[in-house]
Amino acid sequence: MSLHLDSAKPEGAPRATMSVAMVLAFVVVAIVVICAFFGASIAPDSPFTQRLDIGDVPPSAQFLAGTDLLGRDVLSRVIHGAWTALVGPVVVAAGAFSIATVLGLLSGYLGGMVDSVIMRWVDFMLALPTPLVAIVVVGVVGGGYWTAVFVLVILFTAPDTRIVRSAVLEQRPRPYIDAARALGISKTRILVIHILPNVLPIILAYVVLDFAFALVNLAGLSFLGLGVEPGTPDWGRLLFENRTILFTNPVALLLPAGSVILTAVSMNLIGDWLFARLTR
């Protein structure tokens, strides 16, 4: 028999409503997901086809977002770039919070030496400048998209651990935990069956926020040449490749930049909405 907090809301309690901004945020994320999985069918052209005879041209009926220096269709490259903008941040957010959930549960519930060791590691990681560490590590190792993803998973784990630990510390003195201890239930069962379901809403909300931060960080690393390989359709890489044609075809730069900003802002709004909805 599981012991959980009473999730019933008092009558008249405020609820998280779906505003126009939230609807637009979900629409943006849905478009990104569709482009990521069906980009080959949606894109008007191949993102790799070069037309050196025309070079970079402004938007036209043939190329809605113009072309880059090598004559590649910018719109097609942005659509295909949704794949790396989705997969990498999902892996970072899910990986970081999976590790952080285990560490946070152990630290918050067991306390003592376990808590001290884990939190000293968290303090050390939080003292490091995350963007700079990511640049140095990825640069030394040799770059690569999945190398960058792995580094961000490690760097994102520390702050996420502190969030989970705080949620567990809030649950530990609750009467249902005392009742579980009195019944002789093991610590593992208390953590997994009783505490985890009650902190899961907070975890899910922060996973979405981690996605937004990971998206921006991965785009920044790709812009610096430390993410995807040259020529790969990626929003951060497109910013780097098209920076020199800002005045001849500004859409080639503004479209991937706007994609990063809109997706990150949308995920932040969704994360805040989930937090308000799941924790009330």
Domain CATH number, residue 65: 1.10.3720.10
> Sorting pLDDT into bands at 50, 70 and 90, what band is 215?
very high
* Arithmetic mean of pLDDT, 31-47: 93
In a domain, 13, yes or no: no
**Predicted model pTM:** 0.85
In a domain, 98, yes or no: yes
Domain interval for residue 88: 20-278
Query: pLDDT tens digit string along 251-263?
Result: 999 999 999 999 9
Percent of the chain with pLDDT over 70: 93
The whole-angstrom distance between residue 77's C-alpha and the CA centroid of its chain comes to 21
In a domain, 12, yes or no: no
Report how far residue 20's alpha carbon sits from residue 263's, in angstroms, rounded to the nearest whole number: 16
End-to-end CA gap in the chain: 24
Per residue, what are the HEC states of the chain? CCCCCCCCCCCCCCCCCCCHHHHHHHHHHHHHHHHHHHHHHHCCCCCCCCCCCCCCCCCCCCCCCCECCCCCEHHHHHHHHHHHHHHHHHHHHHHHHHHHHHHHHHHHHHCHHHHHHHHHHHHHHHHCCHHHHHHHHHHHHCCCHHHHHHHHHHHHHHHHHHHHHHHHHHHCCCHHHHHHHHCCCCHHHHHHHHHHHHHHHHHHHHHHHHHHHHHHHHHHHHHCCCCCCCCCCCHHHHHHHCHHHCCCCCHHHHHHHHHHHHHHHHHHHHHHHHHHHHCC
* Arithmetic mean of pLDDT, 114-137: 90
In a domain, 71, yes or no: yes
* Arithmetic mean of pLDDT, 196-211: 88
Query: pLDDT tens digit string along 145-176?
Result: 898 999 999 999 999 999 999 989 888 888 88
pLDDT attached to residue 3: 44
Mean per-residue pLDDT over the chain, rounded: 87
> Sorting pLDDT into bands at 50, 70 and 90, what band is 129?
confident
In a domain, 6, yes or no: no
In a domain, 2, yes or no: no
pLDDT attached to residue 1: 39
> How many structural domains compose the chain?
1
Most confident range, picked from 28-37, 181-190, 197-206, 217-226: 28-37
In a domain, 221, yes or no: yes
In a domain, 3, yes or no: no
